[in-house]
A = this chain, B = another copy of it.
Amino acid sequence: MGLKIGIVGATGAVGVEAIKLLEESKLPISELRLFASSRSVGKKIGFLGEELPIAELSFHAFKGLDFVIFSAGSSVSQQFAPIAKESGAIVIDNSSFFRLQPNVPLVVPEVNKEDLKSHKGIIANPNCTAAILSVALWPIHLVATIERVIVSTYQAVSGAGAKAILELETQLRHFVYGKPIVPEVFPEQIAFNVFSHNSPVTENGYNGEENKVMQEIRKIFHYPNLNICATCIRVPVFRAHSESVVIETAKKLDAQQTRSILSKAPGVLVVDDPQNGYFPTPLKASGKKEVLVGRIREDLSHPRGIAFFLSGDQLLKGAAWNAVQILQALL
């Protein structure tokens, strides 16, 4: 019969990647149904040699589908994911809407694939920064029990969507042509600048992105008391997020042990050549499914501390690839 899969947000940055990954996946897909907002209706997207039309969402849109991947923002997921579920499809949702709901599993397959067993029709895909981080932390946690995480991020603009990518391009062009730079999408100039992530700061002093990272890692790890402190910063990079990470473990690890653990870990690529100064960068991570980890060293400020630096493609492992991995794990 073959699989019938729907993609909501098919023209967005994550949707486009999901379609490509499904194409590569060799899954027996008999139907791919694409959805986007009304202004994309009429466009076509290529998939395995066919030109597929884009439809608008409706109450009956999901009929007959086995799986629907949502990447069109929280309000679309809130409204349509329950409808897709009622239609009999399993929903894999990229938005933040369902992530912290107790009856919705939040899954990074390398970490907590088992949680898929308890799903009730909706599975949440984590925040991109959290997903990338979890892949590097989990294998260390299994061996040495992580007691504390301090992470500072270097986040690409594509996390904020296609408009943000265009904004960085426009500002660069204005710089080269000597025209004034006026921020429109982001509240601050992004070219030649870095700024605190533009999600609102909440009561606890942390912004929305930081709270997501902290809360989601705890849920994915089933570790509600994990001590974690995140600082999320936007940088003028098009694609792939980077993170400077310092951890404390219950069991002492040295750099070599950590490198060895990470080099065997699923979804991790150790890129750590101090002699040649070759380490993870967002350019190296762009287009890769793995999270690149390097600068692995002891944190000299703590008897059981380890520091490292990672880069991961937030559109792939941080979104579309993690969703496709969930789909594959469900089969």
Contact = CB atoms under 8 A, between A and B. Distances in A.
Interface string A164-176: 0000100011011
Contacts of A173: 176
A177 B169 CA distance: 12
A309 B196 contact: yes
Contacts of A229: 246, 299-302, 305, 307
Contacts of A314: none
A194 B235 contact: yes
A196 B301 contact: no
Interface residues of A, number: 58
B196 A283 contact: no
A270 to B, nearest CB: 14
Contacts of A193: 237, 281-283
A317 to B, nearest CB: 18
A133 to B, nearest CB: 14
Interface stretch (A34-42, A48-56, A87-95, A200-208): A200-208
Contacts of A296: 205
Assembly of this chain: how many copies?
2
Given A206-B297, A227-B301, A198 B277 contact: yes
B297 A205 contact: yes
B277 A237 contact: no
A281 B188 contact: yes
B150 A301 contact: yes
Interface of A: 148-150, 152, 154, 168, 172-173, 175-177, 187-189, 192-196, 198, 200-201, 204-206, 214, 227-229, 231, 233, 235-238, 242, 244, 246, 255, 274-275, 277, 279, 281-283, 294-302, 305, 307, 309
- Report the 3 A-B pairs with minimum CB-CB distance, sorted nearest first: A205-B297, A227-B301, A201-B274
